[in-house]
Amino acid sequence: MAGWKGHVAGGFICIGTYTAAISFLPIHKLAEAAGLLQDWHVLAAIFVVGALFAIFPDIDTNSKAQDLFFGIAFVLDVLLIVLGAIELAAYLGLIAMLPIISHHRGWTHRLWAMVIVPLPILIVPFLYKDTLLPITTIYYGAAVIGYGSHLLFDGLIWHKLSRLFK
């Protein structure tokens, strides 16, 4: 089981690999987003999303990961409010609060959570503008990779897979 530094480092490695891979892959269906991937702001945002989700499962307890996550979420929320994206700021606040209504290593450390928790990244923008689907798919992938890196470094992915093949 990794500590917060291990999760941040592991998340950086996994998200860095993901970001590098998607910036070079000629994905035909995501062609609209491919032009955006050349912009360093978008690549940085993809990296931040993945890094936040790499520590997300541990924000259900008082820890450095919780301090780091809520510090970044607060700055992002203020930025969204200043930019006039009040609804997005509300969604971010709601999602950020979810883990603190549970106990440590509860639902946040489940494989299904790795896929379900980041879904608002994919669904909410699509509800407002369906042309955003290509880029939100990339952000969703970053969130799943970041979340998965946390479960991987906690040993939960290998544990579940080994139980399947017994």
Kindly give the interhelix angle for 4-24 and 133-153, rounded to the nearest 10 degrees: 140
Kindly give the interhelix angle for 119-128 and 133-153, rounded to the nearest 10 degrees: 170
What is the pTM assigned to this prediction? 0.78
For the segment 48-84, what is each residue's pLDDT rounded down to a tens digit?
Answer: 888 888 888 887 777 787 888 888 889 988 988 998 8
Which pLDDT band, with edges at 50, 70 and 90, does 148 fall under? very high
| 143: pLDDT strictly greater than 90 | yes
